[in-house]
Structure 1
Amino acid sequence: MNIPQPVVRLLQHLPETPPAFGVVTALNLVKNQLWPEEDFSWLEGRTVRLLASDIGCGFSYSFRQGRFVASSAKPDVTFGASLADYWIIARRQEDPDTLFFQRRLTISGDTELGLQLKNLMDATDFSPLFEKIPRPIRLRFGI
């Protein structure tokens, strides 16, 4: 996935709140479908930062009182990968371990929390969500 430089520059100047709000809203909408047995008590009050290394920006989120929320707190763990590699993980084309050992996925901060999240990413099947995306969009993005 090659992002045009004008888009990268625009993304680098935008505040983190809108994309963070979009992601946490989406996570809250799909939480019970993707992780019906997971209570996320291990994530309660913790802050996760996702960095898109290829565009040099990211956002943080926390889990509080049963919901994902955007956060400006210091992260407990930070994940770094290119947008393309996050997309590869979501589509299960590569597992996070492979990308980690190829140094395409970085994890810093609380190692135990990072491993729990990495394992959750690895075990999550996003395909039921992709099936809800209109066919022309799925074809355009190879879903």
Structure 2
Amino acid sequence: MRKKNGFTLIEVLAVVVIAGILFSIGAAMMQTTIMISRHDSFLATAHSLEEAARQYSYHHRIGKEETERVTYSELIGEGLIERVKDPYTGDLFEDDNTTFISFKNNEPLLICLKGYTHESCGDSNGEGLSFSLLSRERIVRME
């Protein structure tokens, strides 16, 4: 009798095919997880800006009129936040970024957060999105 050593070509091929399928499923899940974390980071940035805007409003409210809108560059200039990193590109937002927060009764109400490739500004009118409506689904890719 002959002693059988090793695997047949069919067995090796089956293992390679199964490994390829598992790898492709894992890669797709990894991409989804990375995109979700980038969206969550973008939302966390929006909430950090909300808190900085609230501090800005409290500081400027004393003896002055109500604050209507504050920009990213004003928050930077006041030292209330440091430059923010865009989670999609890894680059820091420029000081002249057009992100803004709108107020009602000196309370932050709307945000228009603009990154390099994504934004969350509500409808096409660009007036801003209510902080209560911020979600992953409201982040859109800019063209």
TM-score (norm 2): 0.28
Normalising by structure 1, what TM-score? 0.28
Larger of the two Rg values belongs to structure: 2
